[in-house]
Amino acid sequence: MPIQSVLRYPHPILKKMCSRVGQIDKSIHDLIQDLVDTMHEGPGSVGVAAPQIGVTLRVCVVDVSKNRYGKDNNHGLLCMINPEITDHSGSATMREGCMSVPDYTGDVDRATEITLRFSEPDGTIREITASGFEAVAIQHEMDHLDGVLFLDRISSIKTGLFRRKNY
């Protein structure tokens, strides 16, 4: 499948609440493949959500296994349809970046451990517990499904937003 263009802030689709996926069909499988291909193409990207490529459905992918912060603690490639966080604990501030906001990074508070449930591409319901960097990446991508960007979670634009040196 082709690599898709990533929408950039302030594109209005990035602020939309996404619709739940009803039936998992070929179009959803194609969307997931597009998301995976787009994620792998992005510099240092560990995830991408459907609205970032212009599709307002609750689908996202995350894979932190090749990132230095996630290589020792991950579930591999997660292709998540209609993900829902069912429990969370802990809190930490981490620096986040986003392909839709390529010129900036920011300090964001997130749960350090989450339990979530989602459908896999074959329709199987899966429940996992993620922690550390993987939990942060999943929360970041799931925020996109609710029209929330990391910019919306920075407590102080003055002290928590940073211009990226290179992307």
Catalytic (active-site) positions: 141
Which amino acid is it at 80? M
Q: Report residue 2 as tokens.
A: 């082709």
Q: Are strands 125-131 and 161-163 parallel, antiparallel or unpaired?
A: unpaired
Q: Report residue 126 as tokens.
A: 């899966």
Q: How many helices (H) and strands (E) does the chain have?
A: 4, 8
Going by the DSSP 8-state scheme, the letter that residue 57 receives in this structure is B
- Other residues' Cβ atoms within 10 Å of the Cβ of residue 68: 8
Under 8 Å between Cβ of 46 and 36:
no
Chain position carrying tokens 């792998």: 40
Under 8 Å between Cβ of 141 and 48:
yes
